[in-house]
Amino acid sequence: MGPHLDEFAEAGAEARRTMVRGIVAGGALRDPAWRAAFEEVPRHLFVPYYFVPGGGGNERLWCGDTDPFRRAQWLYGAYEDGALATRIRDGELVSSSSQPSLMARMLQELDVRDGQSVLEIGAGTGYNAALLAHRLGDDAVTTMDLDPEITESARRHLTAAGHHPAVITGDGARGCPARGPYDRIIVTCTLPAVPQAWLTQCRPGALILAPFATGLILLRVHSSPQGPYAEGRFLHTPAYFVPLRGTVPPPVRHPHTGGVPRRVAENELFRFLLTLTEATLDPREALSLWQREKRPERERFGITVREGRQWAWLDDPEGPYAWPLLAD
């Protein structure tokens, strides 16, 4: 990335305003401070190149293309309301820039206040950290990633955009105790379990927002004589992110839907239930629950992390429907 990106400032600003109007029309960015962040942080600085499907594989669009049409395609694509694949290795997506409207909803649900500190797990391009830094100030934001190439490029992008939060290379599942305690933790990769280390690095009352089982779980951290614990419910919003890499064990995956009718197996909410309970229920058991509880919405489900155990539940943490999650 170089100074030639300056040439896109004016066109990028107009494209950014259009993106923000679309996000606002969709019901997000109700907080003026977050709207200002999205209006003023230039997303194109964080995605100097990205990949799109094309030619039977992945085609790269980038800011330095000699073809002016393709440069324009890159710029306006950077401000479309969609996720952008930014790193692909051996055909596998390693890192991306999330859909802006989803980022807006997540930041809104994070409910940050002036003076609070935030840990982001999954640095990605650095764009989300820049939005946080715009809202809270550089010193209040820590972003980390396991991959040094990702943190190096995120730091470079952030500098180009005029922001300097702490960018840490390390295992996100272990958190970053040296920068804690935190008032908020936001995660941009899918979890199979909630790392206990995060709870010990949070202040009482802190919020943890993370993708989990094709949904978003919002946990509140509490103190107790036995140590910190966390509990909360899923949001209505669906979410699909790359998995967390590090010390958390990989999630179990059912290879098929085992006799579940196709119309049910393809239902997005049933897929959520199947993924959430995959360590405990087989597909037929999940189908039985799905039918018995009249196709429960995401908001009826929650997660509790307490005293070395963690479990998902329907309606009530101590109710009849509870399923242990993988230990961290």
Question: Would you state the pLDDT for residue 246?
Answer: 58
- Please write the tens of the pLDDT for every residue from 262-313: 888 889 999 999 989 988 888 999 999 999 999 999 999 999 999 889 999 9
pTM over 0.75: yes
Q: Which of 13, 311, 187, 124 is nearest to 328 (CA)?
A: 311
Question: Would you state the pLDDT for residue 174?
Answer: 96
- Please write the tens of the pLDDT for every residue from 93-119: 888 899 999 999 999 999 999 999 999
Q: Is the N-terminal amide bond of 181 cis, ω within 30° of 0?
A: yes
Residue that is written with structure tokens 């609070």 in the block:
116
The CATH architecture that domain 3-170 belongs to is 3-Layer(aba) Sandwich (3.40)
pLDDT band at 153 (very low <50, low <70, confident <90, very high): very high
- More confident position, 22 or 91: 22
The strand pair at 301-306 and 309-314 is best described as: antiparallel
What is the average pLDDT value for the chain, to the nearest integer?
91
Question: Would you state the pLDDT for residue 168?
Answer: 98
- Please write the tens of the pLDDT for every residue from 196-216: 999 999 999 999 999 999 999
In the chain, which residues fall in CATH 3.40.50.150?
3-170
How many separate helices (H) and strands (E) can be counted in the chain? Answer: 10, 14
Options 95, 96, 98, 153, the catalytic residue: 95
Residue 3 reports pLDDT greater than 50: no
Does 223 qualify as catalytic in the annotation? no
Residue 252 reports pLDDT greater than 50: no
User: Is there a contact between 138 and 120 (Cβ–Cβ < 8 Å)?
Assistant: no
Give me 128's structure tokens: 């989300």
- The span from the CA of 144 to the CA of 122, in Å, is 6
Q: How far is CA 145 from the centre of its chain?
A: 13
Residue 55 reports pLDDT greater than 80: no
Question: Would you state the pLDDT for residue 256?
Answer: 55
